[in-house]
């Protein structure tokens, strides 16, 4: 969480804000929508994350004197600087719950406030929500591939700077069970976990001594890294020796870790050696550039791996390094606004809107409808670009995805803990059919718009084209 977030923004947000003030428009009310157009990782869904950190950060949103002095040196007008000196956040924010399963084009967050404050919040919001949603989604895919096997976050050392803190939290929301990131564990109450590095073993004269010393200090939480020198001929046999010695002292070796080589082959051979030695209870952990597809491949090969440590490919969002979330103006003084493009998919949806999720009686998600705020009892939703494709939704159960989380700059909810968000994400993901979760050619989830919203968009589009 940023303690001083006001300048965590793009320069043009401030130049536009100053322009609104100088034009006398500071009291105009605006609404902006946050949404994304494409699902990362060629997947079928996104897990929404980052809203909790955003709301916490907005509690400290104000301009300090040294920040105002900096802006003065940048040439901003005295009138604008005085405005910022007295700035207080008075916005209303509507958002989906952290951990919600969300899809392209639907407004996940709506900001309503003065046109200046709504504009100033853009960069901060996009930075938090795009990144954390990306990593939560990647983690979810890894956990889905792993099934009942555990997945741990080892990614801090490969993360982009302080982003590793948010990455660990987002990964936990997405489904990983623990993190090596001690700071995130402390800050967000995420279970911490870790083993040893090769340097521990190299620092001793021999591997067996290194193992014995580690077991001496951590007899009930001992996981030994077995690939420093020779995995199957030295590492695993030495781990077995230490495991038997621990048994004699009334303890049990917790596990071994493989960090290189053919993980499927090594895990099978290591499992065989451990079982033959009577150490069937010893778990096998694997790491080294893992992602959801490699995890899926290892499981399909029946590799006896109990735990996956994931790092680089988790916290950097490989191979989709960014979620393309955008923040678009939807209305000014209750007058609907839209952005026009020659590409119909980039024409925005105007007006204040809400999102309705339709589900069957068993709770399974059927589809989402984007409708205008004042609409009730919508009977049909239409494909946003091909209205001949439509669906009747009157027989489904309906729930609203957006709720008010801030009013007049004050929180209206208790900010969820990462554990609560992770639990919610798991519960919601269970209501999504497997066809949307598969990695290859996932089924496209239905997201439609109401006839009233479609007509508003089309009429405004035509009106704007006529003005050219």
Where along the chain do its domains lie? 11-135+320-466, 138-315
Q: Give me 143's structure tokens.
A: 């956990």
* Dihedral (Cα; 112, 115, 120, 121), 10-degree rounding: 10
> Residue 158, class by beta-carbon neighbours within 10 Å (0-12 exposed, 13-18 middle, 19+ buried)?
middle
pLDDT value of residue 64: 97
For residues 426-445, average pLDDT: 98
Q: Domain 11-135+320-466, what fold?
A: nicotinate phosphoribosyltransferase (3.20.140)
pTM above threshold 0.95: yes
Statement: residue 193 has pLDDT above 80:
yes
The alpha-helical segments, DSSP class H, found in 23-147 are 51-58, 65-73, 78-85, 115-120, 122-146
CATH number of 138-315: 3.20.20.70
Per-residue confidence (pLDDT) for residue 1, from 0 to 100: 67
- Report the distance separating Cα 132 and Cα 454, nearest Å: 31
96 within 8 A of 133, measured Cβ to Cβ: no
The Cα 235–Cα 240 span in angstroms is 9
pLDDT at 209 exceeding the cut of 90: yes
**pLDDT tens by residue, 239-296:** 999 999 999 999 999 999 999 999 999 999 999 999 999 999 999 999 999 999 999 9
Residue 468 reports pLDDT greater than 80? no
Mean residue pLDDT of the chain comes to 97
The closest of 368, 384, 395, 356 to 455, measured between CA atoms, is: 384
- Count of Cβ atoms closer than 10 Å to residue 422 Cβ: 27
Mean pLDDT, residues 30-46 taken together: 98
Name which of 141-145, 284-288, 340-344, 413-417 the model is least confident about. Answer: 340-344
Examine the pLDDT at 188 and tell me if it is beyond 80.
yes
84, 4 Cβ separation under 8 angstroms: no
In the structure encoding, which two tokens stand for residue 254, read together? 């917790």
User: What is the per-residue pLDDT for 435?
Assistant: 98
Tokens standing for 149? 């096997």
DSSP 96: P
Percent of the residues in the chain that have a pLDDT greater than 70, as a whole number: 100
Confidence of residue 345 (pLDDT cuts 50, 70, 90): confident
Mean pLDDT, range 79-103, rounded to an integer: 97
Nearest residue to 290 via CA among 323, 273, 267 = 267
């Amino acid at each position: 969480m940023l303690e001083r977030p006001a300048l965590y923004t793009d320069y043009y947000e401030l130049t536009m804000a100053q322009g609104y003030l100088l034009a006398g428009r500071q009291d105009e009310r605006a609404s902006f929508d946050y949404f994304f157009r494409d699902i990362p990782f060629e997947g079928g869904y996104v897990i929404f994350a980052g809203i909790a950190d955003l709301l916490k950060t907005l509690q400290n949103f104000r301009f300090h004197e040294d920040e105002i002095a900096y802006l003065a040196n940048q040439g901003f007008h005295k009138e604008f600087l005085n405005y910022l000196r007295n700035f207080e956040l008075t916005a209303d924010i509507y958002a989906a719950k952290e951990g919600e399963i969300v899809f392209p084009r639907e407004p996940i967050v709506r900001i309503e406030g003065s046109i200046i404050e709504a504009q100033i919040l853009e960069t901060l919001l996009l930075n938090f929500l795009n990144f954390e949603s990306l990593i939560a989604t990647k983690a979810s895919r890894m956990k889905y591939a792993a099934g009942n096997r555990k997945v741990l976050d080892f990614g801090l050392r490969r993360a982009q700077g302080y982003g590793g803190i948010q990455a660990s939290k987002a990964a936990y929301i997405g489904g990983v069970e623990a993190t090596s990131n001690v700071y995130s564990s402390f800050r967000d109450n995420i279970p911490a976990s870790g083993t040893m590095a090769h340097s521990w073993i190299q620092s001793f004269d021999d591997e067996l001594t290194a193992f014995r010393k580690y077991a001496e200090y951590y007899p009930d939480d001992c996981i030994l890294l077995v690939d420093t020198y020779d995995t199957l001929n030295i590492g695993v046999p030495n781990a077995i020796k230490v495991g038997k010695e621990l048994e004699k002292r009334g303890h049990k070796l917790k596990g071994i870790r493989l960090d290189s080589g053919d993980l499927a082959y090594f895990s099978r051979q290591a499992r065989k050696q451990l079982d033959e030695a009577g150490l069937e209870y010893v778990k096998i952990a694997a790491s080294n550039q893992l992602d959801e597809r490699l995890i899926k491949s290892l499981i399909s090969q029946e590799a006896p791996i109990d735990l996956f440590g994931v790092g680089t490919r988790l916290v950097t969002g490989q191979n989709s390094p960014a979620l393309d979330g955008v923040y678009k103006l939807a209305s000014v003084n209750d007058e609907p606004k839209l952005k026009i493009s020659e590409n119909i998919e980039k024409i925005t949806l105007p007006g204040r809107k809400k999102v309705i999720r339709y589900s069957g009686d068993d709770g399974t998600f059927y589809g989402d409808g984007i409708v205008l705020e004042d609409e009730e009892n919508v009977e049909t939703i239409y494909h946003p670009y091909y209205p001949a494709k439509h669906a009747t939704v009157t027989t489904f159960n309906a729930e609203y995805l957006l709720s008010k989380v801030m009013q007049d700059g004050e929180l209206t909810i208790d900010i969820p803990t990462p554990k609560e968000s992770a639990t919610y994400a798991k519960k919601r993901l269970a209501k999504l059919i497997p066809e949307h979760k598969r990695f290859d050619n996932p089924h496209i989830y239905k997201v439609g718009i109401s006839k009233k919203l479609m007509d508003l968009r089309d009429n405004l589009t035509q009106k704007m084209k006529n003005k050219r």
